[in-house]
Amino acid sequence: MKPILLTLGTALLLSACDQALIRQGSAPRPGFALVQDSTRHATGQDSVWHLSAAELDANAARVSALVNGKTIGPDRAVQVALMNNRALQAAYAELGLSGAELWGTALGSIPTLNLSVTNLGEEGFARTLEATLTTSLLELATLKPRKRMAEMDFRQAQLEATGATLALAYETRRAWIEVVGAFEAAALIGAAQGTADAGSELAAELGRTGAMNRADQAREHVFTAELAGERAQRKLEAQLAKERLIRLMGLWGSDINVNVPDRLPDLPHGVTARPDIERLALTHRIDLAAGRLELERIASDYRLTQATRMLSDIEIMAGAEMEREDGANGLSPVVDIEFRIPVYDTGNLNRRRGEMTYMRAANTLAQEAVNARSEARSAYAAVTGSYRVARHWQTEVLPLRREIDAEALRSYNGMLTSTFELLSDARDGLEAELSAAEAKRDYWLAEADVSAVIWGSVGGSQ
């Protein structure tokens, strides 16, 4: 357990300096640079935060140019989703709110009383505190910690915004794979149906000449009809998958006139070896970062409690001096002796509470880290395994099927087998192609899942 905590502890260093945070908080797009960096790193795509009507219009035009009447690849789909998905913009607005909060706290304009009180402790203590403290006193006493709280909220909001961005990117990529895979499958079923149609056509002709009885004709026809049903089903699945992609990309109106390729890309020559996938996951996962932040928050919470308990002059003075030096709001720190808070008396209990709370969070985080390691290994196993399966279909099964098709034709040529057998072998070949296509789709999905476990942005997939 300890080494993990240690690792996490060092990771905590990622927190930027306060001033920078405050600058970020007051920026038009507070904290967004981190979101952009992470997103670019994880997905290779840009995330965009629109703030004005003009920006939105410009974005709409850009999106339209990217999709309207175009055949789009997975990267463009992800890019458009990041540009155009309104739920993501809503998540960014959350980040903005948090930034405003940070800014406000730093400026001291609006006391974040509830937040601070809630974080002070639980049950009756907080209420007692709430009842006995005046707003100004509390604000005075907790100005520094509250600012820290706001900073942490802000950092958490950053993580959440990043997480939402990566989740959207991931879901969009998966959706693109699903829709292209669905169209590829539908096309193969269509080809299989072509062979069945030929069988039906021949059966009808043989019925006309008197060479095939009604039962055998019906057998050919029902096969065709069933396959037509399956084809319709596959087409519907492809359509619905496409609609889901369109939703993720936030498209509507004429922009839904967007196309995807007929088939998924061929398999790459190999799978990228990722011996460090566990490390990547531990250092990159947004959910772990959030957990680390939570620890920090708890530590901070209870440090706050300690400080309260040790609300000695020195500490308060120091805090007041600091505030004065900051010159942020010009508060004159008046030490009120009545600010002898019961918190102090229950200090031991509170420390114990803090310890337990911290350990609970630490343990939860530790378990999440262990899970993350396992998920990383699973994803790597899945991508290498599904690659091997898809490769096997491509290099072993399909060549054999092609050989069978060639031999079926030779056999037909020699009047050794009938046209129906020729068609039946062709259909079997198409079924194998369908399986191969599905294996290829599974590989691409597994490939997408790898980045998901590294960035940990997704709940649904694992």
Count of other CB atoms within 10 angstroms of residue 334: 11
With H, G, I as helix, E, B as strand and everything else as coil, classify residue 415.
coil
Beta carbon of residue 437, minimum distance to other proteins (angstroms, whole number): 16
Amino acid at 116: S
- Cα–Cα distance, 379 to 462 (Å, whole number): 9
CB 357 within 8 A of CB 234: no
Q: Give every CB contact of residue 334 below 8 A, 6+ residues apart in sequence.
A: 140
Instruction: Dig out the tokens for 86 from the structure.
Output: 């309104």
State the residue for tokens 């680390």.
Answer: 292
CB 129 within 8 A of CB 343: yes
Beta carbon of residue 411, minimum distance to other proteins (angstroms, whole number): 6
Report the residue from 4, 80, 426, 450 that binds other proteins according to the rule CB under 8 A.
Answer: 426
Beta carbon of residue 217, minimum distance to other proteins (angstroms, whole number): 11
Beta carbon of residue 425, minimum distance to other proteins (angstroms, whole number): 9
- Cα–Cα distance, 150 to 116 (Å, whole number): 9
**Applying CB under 8 A, does 227 fall inside the site for other proteins?**
no
Give the nearer residue to other proteins in terms of CB position, either 239 or 417: 417
Give the nearer residue to other proteins in terms of CB position, either 220 or 278: 220
Beta carbon of residue 231, minimum distance to other proteins (angstroms, whole number): 15
| Residues 16-55, mask of contacts with other proteins (x by CB under 8 A) | ----------------------------------------
Beta carbon of residue 441, minimum distance to other proteins (angstroms, whole number): 22
Give the nearer residue to other proteins in terms of CB position, either 11 or 206: 206
Beta carbon of residue 428, minimum distance to other proteins (angstroms, whole number): 11
**Applying CB under 8 A, does 420 fall inside the site for other proteins?**
yes
State which of positions 166-225 bind other proteins (CB under 8 A): 191, 194-195, 197-198, 201-202, 205-206, 208-209, 211-212
Helices (DSSP H) in 121-213: which residue ranges?
A: 123-132, 135-209
- Cα–Cα distance, 23 to 20 (Å, whole number): 5
Report the residue from 81, 422, 448, 450 that binds other proteins according to the rule CB under 8 A.
Answer: 422
Give the nearer residue to other proteins in terms of CB position, either 221 or 247: 221
State which of positions 380-419 bind other proteins (CB under 8 A): 405, 407-419
CB 429 within 8 A of CB 393: no
**Applying CB under 8 A, does 364 fall inside the site for other proteins?**
no
With H, G, I as helix, E, B as strand and everything else as coil, classify residue 290.
helix
Nearest to 457, CA basis, from 50, 153, 43? 43
Give the nearer residue to other proteins in terms of CB position, either 336 or 403: 403
End-to-end CA gap in the chain: 24
What's the chain's length in residues? Answer: 462
- Cα–Cα distance, 245 to 249 (Å, whole number): 6
- Cα–Cα distance, 221 to 212 (Å, whole number): 13
Beta carbon of residue 429, minimum distance to other proteins (angstroms, whole number): 8
E strand or H helix at 419, and its extent? helix 419-455
Beta carbon of residue 399, minimum distance to other proteins (angstroms, whole number): 17
Site size toward other proteins, by CB under 8 A: 33
Q: Which DSSP letter does residue 254 get? A: G
Residues that bind other proteins (CB under 8 A): 191, 194-195, 197-198, 201-202, 205-206, 208-209, 211-212, 405, 407-420, 422-423, 426, 429-430
